[in-house]
Amino acid sequence: MSVQKKYLLVVGGPTASGKTSLAIALAKHFSTEIISADSRQFYEEMKIGNARPEERELAEIKHHLIADRPLTDSLSAGACAREAQGILAKCYETSDYAVLVGGSGLFIRALTEGLDEFPEVSAASKAKVAKLFKSEGLAGLQTALAEADPDYYEEVDLQNPVRLQRALEVCWSSGKKYSGFRAGKDRKQPFVPIYLQPSWPRETLYQRINLRVEHMVEQGLEAEVRQLMDWRELPALQTVGYQEWWPYFEGSVSKKEVITLIQQNSRRYAKRQLTWNRRDGYWKHVPQGDLRTALTYIQLVIQEGLALTALPKEEACFLNKREDQKRLGLKSIDKEEVVGVADLYALKDFAFIKCWFGAAASHLAKTLLLHEACYRSEKAVVYLQAGYLSVDFLLANGWVNTETETLPRALKEKLSGEECWRWERSEQVF
């Protein structure tokens, strides 16, 4: 007798993208509960600066791991995952679904994939790394990591000093590569994660961030941070929205400068969040947090057992050396079998997609893979070679036949008169 699968609807992505709204809509639709994976929303004293859900939102659906401990009771990613596992076990007694929401990638990964086990770090190694950072700054950490662990150097966020220091501490303490401890062991979880990312054009997202910061200040962010001055050395307060106020309280910068800096740092943080999710490859873009789009992808995962995945890209260029190349896939969750591939080639003004689909790929599967490729291109115009898809399919999914004469020169030369279809970014989805 087969066991009914359980699903964890993971809503992640950049700050100010509408994660809370989408998570609540999903929890209502599936009559379930929400678990927070935000590394700052656990703490009672932090409310405004970490964009904690408003009281009316918390009253709509039961939330867990929100404002449930004092600031001095720190919670690591691993400890958070253990608490969340207990909450999930109770949720799954009455529902096949639960919602996880937050912008902290490490906390999400700790629950959905588990964390790698690292050796104890010696005090001498910590002191050595701290001395290096103090004397040579970020550049010194980068150079040292490139020598100690070139593999991890190629994938880590090189602008994140905390991650660089952690990796170097492990390398110098153990005498081994940090990446060697990140074995990526297959940890079977009692649920299937479905990853959803509210998506906005970059300029719109940045506008939302700026407005959110202004709203936080109007709500009383300055007073909230001032009350936390005595705990300013705690890691929880070394974060965007809080740390920028310390110089202001000391009289070295103006309030206007603080607000501008919070907006700037929030935009930078959002950019890093977007980069992390692109590297993962399994996040489904949900334009403007549209519930219908999210439910369509959830339907694909549940009914057809297919999910998005990143695949190794081709070595050779397709259009020219300036292209940004990505390869997306749809694979069977149980069999690990790839049933569809979309190769995405993005240039300055447009993107081009070429696809392959197996016999097992349904109309829904094809639509979702093409939809995701279009949104990941971040281009207003996307072209598609039409030879492997029916005209009816293309027309039904927003593509329009393009005359050869109107094609960009790079495509015209490459396709040699083959039929090509055009898709323009639109907020109209499914």
Tens of pLDDT, residue by residue over 126-156, are: 999 999 998 998 899 999 999 999 888 877 7
Cβ atoms within 10 Å, residue 194? 25
Handedness of CA 310, 314, 318, 319 (dihedral sign): positive
Mean pLDDT of the region 309-332:
86
Express each pLDDT in 5-23 by its tens digit.
999 999 999 999 999 999 9
Q: List, by residue range, all CATH 1.10.20.140 domains of the chain.
A: 123-181
Q: What is the CA radius of gyration of the chain?
A: 23
Output phi, psi for 47, to 5 deg.
-125, -55
Pair 310, 329: CB distance under 8 Å: yes
Is the pLDDT confidence value at 123 over 70?
yes
- The predicted pLDDT at position 208 comes to 98
Q: What CATH number is given for 123-181 in this structure?
A: 1.10.20.140
Handedness of CA 277, 282, 287, 289 (dihedral sign): negative
User: What is the number of other CB atoms lying within 10 angstroms of the CB of residue 412?
Assistant: 14
Q: How far apart are CA 91 and CA 413, in angstroms?
A: 56
CATH for 306-424, options being 3.30.70.120, 3.40.50.150, 3.40.50.1400, 3.40.630.30: 3.40.630.30
pLDDT at residue 413 in the model: 83
**Domain 7-114+187-280 is found in CATH 3.40.190.10:** no
Order of strands, sheet of 34-36, starting from the edge strand that comes earlier in the sequence? 63-64, 34-36, 97-101, 7-11, 192-199, 284-287
pLDDT at 3: 63
What was the pLDDT predicted at 38? 93
In the chain, list all ranges with CATH 3.40.630.30. 306-424
Contact, 374 vs 380, CB < 8 A?
A: no
Output the average pLDDT for the chain: 90
When pLDDT is cut at 50, 70 and 90, the band that residue 1 belongs to is: very low
Write out the residue limits of the CATH 3.40.50.300 domain(s) in the chain: 7-114+187-280
Cα distances (angstroms) measured from residue 172 to each of 122, 132, 154, 400: 9, 12, 18, 57
Alpha carbon distances (Å) from 318 to 347, 366, 389, 410, 421:
11, 22, 20, 10, 18
